[in-house]
Every structure is written in C-alpha cells, then in structure tokens.
C-alpha cells in the first residue's frame, strides 16, 4: 500500500540524494515529477539532504527555473497545494543548461553536482531520471559512464530511471538493454511504469496473498476468464507524431497491460523482495502462448477512431485530422487481444485485453468472471440462467474493489438479483493526493526495484506481441477509421469475445445529461460500475 495512503509515522525519509532530471523543461516534469516530489515533501519522506537538479537546453538559471515551475505547481497539485510545503521544496530545486550530446557539458555537470553535494550534504548519491526520447538513453548513459557519474562505491549509489517506451519491438528492446548494460549494472536500472504506482495495482498482491479465502479460488477451476480494460477518453492530443510511430499496441500492451497481467496471474513469491516478485512475473510471461500468424487474424483486433460525440456532448474530430498524423494513417488507436497460458493454474482460461483512445470513458479495470454455478436445484423455480459472480479491481477512477454476486429478492417466490459489495479507497483511507509517481520515486531512492521492470520482463513482453506487430505490418487495415469517438471501439472487438460465447463487461459512465451511459463493442450484458460515495 502506498505510503501516501497510510500513517507516515513509521515511514522513514529516503536517504540523502540528488535527483537529476534530464528533460526538466518538458511536460512530464511539471505535470508529474515535481508534483510527486511536492507530495513526498508534504509527507516528510524527502530527506533534509535532498536536491533536484533539472537539465535541459533552455537558457535558465535556478531562479527562473523555479519561477517557471511555480507558475504551474498549484494547478497541478490541486487542493492539496500548501504554500509552506512549496517554499520548503522550491529552495532545493536547481537548474543547469546542457547539450545532452556534448561530452564537455558532462564535465560541467560533474562539477555542479560536486557543489550541490557540498551545499546540501547529499553524500554523492545520484538518481538520474531520463525524461527524454528513448533514442537518447544509450548516448546519455554513455556520457555519464565516461565521466564517472555512474560509478558507485560502498559509500554512495548511482541509479537511473528511464521512461517508456522500452523499444518498439523485440529486437529494439534487446538492443536498448545492451546499450544500457554497457555502462550500468542491471541493479542500477529502474524502468518505470506509472501504472505500477497505482494503489489498486499494488493491492492486487495484498488482496490475493493476505486473504485466505481468495487464493484457493484464483485458478482455472473457479475462474472462467479475465478482462483487462485500459480505456482513454482523450485523443492523441499533442502526441500525434509520436503516436504515428507507436500506436495503441506498442504504447500500452507490452509496457502496461502485460505487467498488470503478470501481477494478476503470478504464483505466490517467497517474499516481497524485488527479485522474488519480478521472477514470478517473468514466469507468467513465459507461460503466455505467443499468437501464430493465423491466430493473430482471429485473436487480435485493431481499430482507429473517426469523428464522433463524447458522452459529455463534445463533438470531436477523427484521429487522421490530429496534428502530426497522416491523412491516410494506418496507425491503430485501439487494440484488443485474447491470450492464453500453458501452466497448471491458468490453462484454458482466456485473458482478454483491450485499450484505446477516444473511448466512452477514462476507465481502467480488471474484471475477473467466475464460472457459473450449477442450476439443477433451481429447475422448478422462477430462476432462469444464473449470472456468474464477478470480481472487479478498479484502477482508475474511484480506485477500489467490487464483488458482484447473486442474492434472493424479497418475496414469496424464488427470484434472484445481482448485488454488489463495494470497497473504495477514498471511503476508507481518504482521497490522498497522488500522481502515481510518488511511491516509485521513493522506492528508487531506497533502492527497492519491486515495482520496476527487469530487462527480461521488457523483452518477454515484446516477444509476446511481436507476431501481432508482424502481421499488422504486413496486412494494412482496409476499414480505418472503424469506430466512432465516444464508443467502446470497433465491432470486431465484440466478436473477439463472442467467438467464445462471452462478452465484454458493460461499463456504465455518466452522460452529459447526468444519467448513465452503458456500452461495449459486443452489445453484451453485464453489471454496471457503481461509483464511490
């Protein structure tokens, strides 16, 4: 459970260090990283001996950099903003102009860090955060290694956080890992996935392994299938050029959904230590059966959104009209897969994954549908087909857990209704401010890599989707755009589950008129989402 959701009395501040952000002039720094440091500062989890050094090509000094951050920090933090906390953090923020490809500039960086060590007593511990394009990862770490800034001793540590994408296919991911390993030990590399900073994702492990009634049911004998949905209501915004090179499959499934699947399906580890946890996730990825080219045609679906109307009533344009996007773009903005595993726990249980842009709602959940109970005892009653029980893990919004099951309706006859047991984090622990990066940054400062990806995990994820990438590259889509903005994706996504006699869970979301709007690509039935509160 995140330290931001608990009593901080037992949480020790991170060790003394300098956090060095490459790309500090970018959107990620102002929207996520500085607010995350603000929340850690407010929780007294940053040490007194802490400093942040921002690096970029902008011609700024410390004062102007602080002014730049200060102009947005209150908006990004929201109601939790506290001027006293900001004043405490602001004085620890520094900036240096740098050309990331110029070796001479790293000599100046080394000198600047030496001065910060002396001024802030940061003890030579450096966390380098690479908020830069992946094409620069290898070259920046090469310069850092050459100047000696990645060399650690018994008295200090050096760690590097890198943002996704970790490659664009199996070959490039392996090449990136080789480049990083030229100057870094694997234990120094922290591949960040902000989804693993979400409370519900972390709580999957606690929910499964700390509750005796759950684990005996968590297998092919009781579970019919699993659905993982990561839906985004936004379009590509200002990321059109990047998205044209990535697409929904590359952007989300190897980096986010497969690791989430790993936590859902893993065997109980011997401990919460990083190597034990990541080893079990890798075993899950090893058990997933890569799709053959023939299976790709039936077990993988892609889509691209056209113009449409969002539930709020907003009319939005097609993906192909976005800045940086080709007028005849063949890039998918929606991807869905059916995956299976060949192991004792999950053999025969399908895992359905879907993700997309401009869908009906901004919504991320895991739906675990249990097998239907036998109906013979109800044969002489008014009960028809029994609805299957379902467990929902809501990751965003309204983080929590919901169990849906059957109960008898009041009255003299045997009639059943579907009821929900709903747990919301906000109700029990309060609505604590978080960006998803707080726990991850704090863990890196402590040297805890549990929620970070190992090189093997990255490469295995790409290997699973490589056949899909190959087939989709060889067979361009002929029906794009094939779903309207504001819907749940292309009709073919519904067929993906209907082929197995199943349907996507129906997710109900607020409409512009204050009611609820439900829908899915298959038109199937299912329970709605019960909001918290």
Encode pLDDT of 331-356 as tens digits. 999 999 999 999 999 999 999 999 99
Pairing of strands 334-339, 351-356: antiparallel
pLDDT over 90 at 146, yes or no: yes
CATH number, domain of 50, equals 3.40.50.720
pLDDT tens sequence across 47-56: 999 999 999 9
Domain CATH code at residue 294: 3.30.360.10
Number of domains in the chain: 2
Those residues whose C-beta lies under 8 Å from the C-beta of residue 116, and which sit 6 or more positions away, are: 18, 51, 53, 94, 122
**Structural domain boundaries, residue 94:** 3-163
Q: Is residue 500 part of a domain?
A: yes
Listed residues 107, 141, 163: the one ending a domain? 163
Same domain flag for 320 and 464 = yes
Domain boundary among 140, 163, 186: 163
The residues carrying an active-site annotation are 256
Q: 3-state SS of 243-288?
A: HHHHHHHHHHHHHHHHHHHHHHHCCCCCCCCHHHHHHHHHHHHHHE
Segment 89-102, tens digit of pLDDT: 999 999 999 999 99
Residues 325 and 243: beta-carbon distance below 8 Å: yes
Final residue of a structural domain among 163, 189, 224: 163
Confidence of residue 375 (pLDDT cuts 50, 70, 90): low
**What's the pLDDT score for residue 206?**
84
pLDDT score, position 332: 97
Residues 285 and 430 in one domain: yes
| More confident site: 205 or 466 | 466
User: 454, 186 in Cβ contact below 8 A?
Assistant: yes
Instruction: Kindly state whether residue 532 falls inside one of the protein's structural domains.
Output: no
Which helix or strand (DSSP H or E) is residue 8 part of? none
Alpha carbons 503 and 500: distance in angstroms, whole number: 8
Whether residues 154 and 214 fall in one domain:
no
Do 259 and 136 sit in the same domain of this protein? no
Question: Which residues, in sequence order, are bridge partners of residue 308?
Answer: 316
pTM value is: 0.87
């Amino acid at each position: 459970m995140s330290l931001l959701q608990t009593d901080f009395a037992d949480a020790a501040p991170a060790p003394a260090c300098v956090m060095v952000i490459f790309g500090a002039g970018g959107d990620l720094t102002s929207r996520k990283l500085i607010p995350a440091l603000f929340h850690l500062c407010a929780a007294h989890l940053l040490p007194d001996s802490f400093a942040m050094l921002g690096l970029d090509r902008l011609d700024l000094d410390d004062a102007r950099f602080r002014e730049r951050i200060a102009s947005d920090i209150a908006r990004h933090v929201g109601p939790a903003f506290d001027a006293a906390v900001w004043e405490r953090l602001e004085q620890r923020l520094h900036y240096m102009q740098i050309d990331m490809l110029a070796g001479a500039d790293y000599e100046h960086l080394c000198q600047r860090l030496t001065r910060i060590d002396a001024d802030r007593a940061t003890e030579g511990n450096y966390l380098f955060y690479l908020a830069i394009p992946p094409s620069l990862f290898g070259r920046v770490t090469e310069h850092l290694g050459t100047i000696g800034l990645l060399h650690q001793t018994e008295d200090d540590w050096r760690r590097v956080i890198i943002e996704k994408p970790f490659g664009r296919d199996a070959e490039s991911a392996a090449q990136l890992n080789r480049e990083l390993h030229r100057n870094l030990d694997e234990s120094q590399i922290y591949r960040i996935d902000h989804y693993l900073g979400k409370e519900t994702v972390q709580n999957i492990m606690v929910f499964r392994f700390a509750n005796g009634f759950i684990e005996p049911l968590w297998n092919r004998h009781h579970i019919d299938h699993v659905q993982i949905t990561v839906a985004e209501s936004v379009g590509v915004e200002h990321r059109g050029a990047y998205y044209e090179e990535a697409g929904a499959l590359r952007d989300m499934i190897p980096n986010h959904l497969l690791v989430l699947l790993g936590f859902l399906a893993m065997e109980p580890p011997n401990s919460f230590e990083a190597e034990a946890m990541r080893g079990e996730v890798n075993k899950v990825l090893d058990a997933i059966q890569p799709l053959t080219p023939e299976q790709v045609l039936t077990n993988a679906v892609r889509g691209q959104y056209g113009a449409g109307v969002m539930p709020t009533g907003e009319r939005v344009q097609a993906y192909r009209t976005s800045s940086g996007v080709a007028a005849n773009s063949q890039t998918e903005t929606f991807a869905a897969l059916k995956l299976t595993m060949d192991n004792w726990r999950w053999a025969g249980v399908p895992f359905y994954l879907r993700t997309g842009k401009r869908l009906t709602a901004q919504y991320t959940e895991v739906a675990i549908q249990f097998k239907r109970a036998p109906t013979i005892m109800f044969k002489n009653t008014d009960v028809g087909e029994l609805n299957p029980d379902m467990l929902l893990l809501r990751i965003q919004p309204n983080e929590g857990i919901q169990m849906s099951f059957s109960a008898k309706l009041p009255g003299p006859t045997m009639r059943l209704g579907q009821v929900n047991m709903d747990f919301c984090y906000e109700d029990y622990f309060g609505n604590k401010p978080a960006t998803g990066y707080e726990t991850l940054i704090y863990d890196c400062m402590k040297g805890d890599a549990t929620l970070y990806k190992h090189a093997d995990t990255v490469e295995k994820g790409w290997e699973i989707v490589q056949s899909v990438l190959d087939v989709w590259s060889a067979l361009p889509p002929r029906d794009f755009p094939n779903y309207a903005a504001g819907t749940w994706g292309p009709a073919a996504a519904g067929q993906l589950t209907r082929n197995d006699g199943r349907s996507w869970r129906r997710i109900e979301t607020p409409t512009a008129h204050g009611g609820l709007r439900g829908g899915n690509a298959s038109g199937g039935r299912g329970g709605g989402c019960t909001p918290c509160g």
